[in-house]
Homo-oligomer: A and B are copies of this chain.
Amino acid sequence: SVFSLSVPLENIKCYGFDMDYTLAEYKSPDYEDLGFELLRDRLVSIGYPHELLHYTYDPTFPTRGLVFDTMYGNLLKVDSNGNILLCSHGFTFLKRSIQDYYPNNFIQRGNTDRFYILNTLFNLSETYLDGCLVDLFTRCSRYENCQKGFKHGDLFMSFRSMFQDVRDAMDYVHDTGSLKESTLRNLDKYVVRDLNLPVLLTRIKEVAKVFLATNSDYNYTEAIMKYLLETPPGAKYPKKPWRAFFDLVVVDTRKPLFFAEGTVLRQVDTNTGKLRIGTYTGDLQHGTVYSGGSSDIVCELLDVKGKDILYVGDHIFGDILKSKKRQGWKTFLVVPELAKELQVWTEKNHLFEELKHLDIFLYFLMWGTSPCVLQVVTYRMDLSYGQMGSLLRSGSRQTLFASQLMRYADLYSSTCINLLHYPFSYLFRAPPVLMPHESSGDNHPLDFPSPEFSVLDQIQKIAEAKV
């Protein structure tokens, strides 16, 4: 299903798509496995201990949207105000000792020099590797544990430098093309080929304009899109070149820069994959591929206004926040984790219900007992998602990622293919968001004109009597 704030599809005159993790869904956890191994091996090759090779990717540990504290080496799950929901050091989850690091249980998110948000699906293997490194050095008897890193003789491994090494390895793996190469060599293993994708794009193109805007380069884009659109065995639709599915193809977009001033727009020579020099200024020609440019140029070339575009992408910051905030586009966030999130939510909904009651009763009735029960249930619920819990919540509190999704995504779904289930005249409507005071007095248990007559106050009085 597709979930939404209000978007009348009928008004959408133009659909834009990101490629990676949007049109091209990578198979999890195989693709993360691959990324992790390339990263890990790179670190060993630049001098990290060989013990690192014993680690393999564990998909049950990381959750997207965690924050790495480069000062203390902790992975943090936080809410939109910077309150800490969960904190791990290596693979050890901190409880009381969170206070030692963060006296106020709070981080100043604005301090981006210290706190790095691991926001994208590409960051998952990196997130896990950050955990592995802290785990490795913490356990390793050769190294002494210090506040800001590890010491071994004259050598100091700061958390900051370890984090930087992982980031650099990430760039290395992407820039040298080793990740792309491995992916292309084994497309069936790493990329989901959904026969409905050409169907969806064909249908959209009948009613609206369609463009592709990806940060990938042309050669990789060509290989992936060919695989997705041109060779589906047993496809019902007549075979046509992948570029024919789009009115406009733009590679090397450098989002989020693309949504601001952008870069020079160039034409791609589709025979060689190289850029043509100069800037193309003529009318839009079908099948032409461009490199660079900006969202403004796309609007101009396709002759559409921002509010008439629905842009589908997976990057909450680079694709969604920026296109909405700077350009007023309608946005569709692809959240592959959603399939699992929904499944857990449905299966474990009783835990959430339990939580809701515990929240209240724990505080009023069980003064004698510790609030641990609350934590235990939160923890049980979190574990249903994985060690780091849900992408979207921790117990009854929403994560930073969830709050950004709520603010900036008009639609979201686990895959863009789900659009196929809706007619193009469909009106997506969000359930109206009521503010606390707008919820009707009857069913809002805490909103009462005078405490004297409140049931909860009764409970309260009982609780006080018990003390």
B-binding residues in A (CB < 8 A)? 1, 3-4, 6, 8, 10, 46-48, 80-83, 103-106, 108-110, 150-158, 160-162, 164-165, 264, 266-267, 269, 274-282, 305-307, 324-326, 328, 338, 341-342, 345, 349, 352, 356, 359-360, 363-364, 392, 396-398, 402-403, 405-408, 412, 421-423, 425-433, 435-440, 444, 446-451, 457, 460, 463-464
Contact = CB atoms under 8 A, between A and B. Distances in A.
Contacts of A276: 47, 155
A283 B143 CA distance: 19
Given A110-B325, A438-B345, A451-B423, A305 B1 contact: no
A198 B83 CA distance: 33
A82 B278 contact: no
Given A81-B324, A402-B435, 10 more contacts: A1-B447, A103-B305, A110-B326, A153-B282, A158-B264, A360-B427, A364-B427, A396-B432, A398-B433, A421-B449
A363 B427 contact: yes
Contacts of A440: 349
Contacts of A104: 305-307, 328
A282 B425 contact: no
A30 B310 CA distance: 48
Contact of A328 (B83, B392, B431): B83
Given A104-B306, A160-B264, A460 B425 contact: yes
A375 to B, nearest CB: 14
A156 B281 contact: yes
Contacts of A398: 433, 435
Contacts of A363: 8, 10, 425, 427
Contacts of A158: 264, 278-279
B157 A278 contact: yes
A326 B103 contact: no
Contacts of A426: 460
A153 B281 CA distance: 9
Given A81-B328, A264-B161, A447-B3, A269 B305 contact: no
A48 B436 contact: no
A435 B423 contact: no
6 contacts: A10-B363, A48-B277, A105-B307, A341-B437, A406-B435, A421-B451
A435 B392 contact: yes
A164 B437 CA distance: 37
A188 to B, nearest CB: 28
A167 B433 CA distance: 35
A113 to B, nearest CB: 10
B106 A437 contact: no
A359 to B, nearest CB: 6
Given A161-B279, A451-B423, A47 B359 contact: no
Nearest to A5: B436
B161 A3 contact: no
Contact of A277 (B4, B157, B403): B157
A397 B7 CA distance: 12
Contact of A81 (B106, B155, B325): B325
Contact of A269 (B47, B431, B432): B47
A364 B397 CA distance: 36
A437 B1 contact: yes
A432 B351 CA distance: 14
Given A81-B324, A306-B106, A328-B106, A152 B278 contact: yes
Nearest to A408: B81
Interface centre among A266, A278, A451 (most CB of B within 10 A): A278
Contacts of A464: 425
A319 to B, nearest CB: 15
B161 A278 contact: yes
B448 A1 contact: yes
Nearest to A43: B277
Top 3 nearest A-B pairs (CB, nearest first) are A154-B282, A106-B328, A3-B436
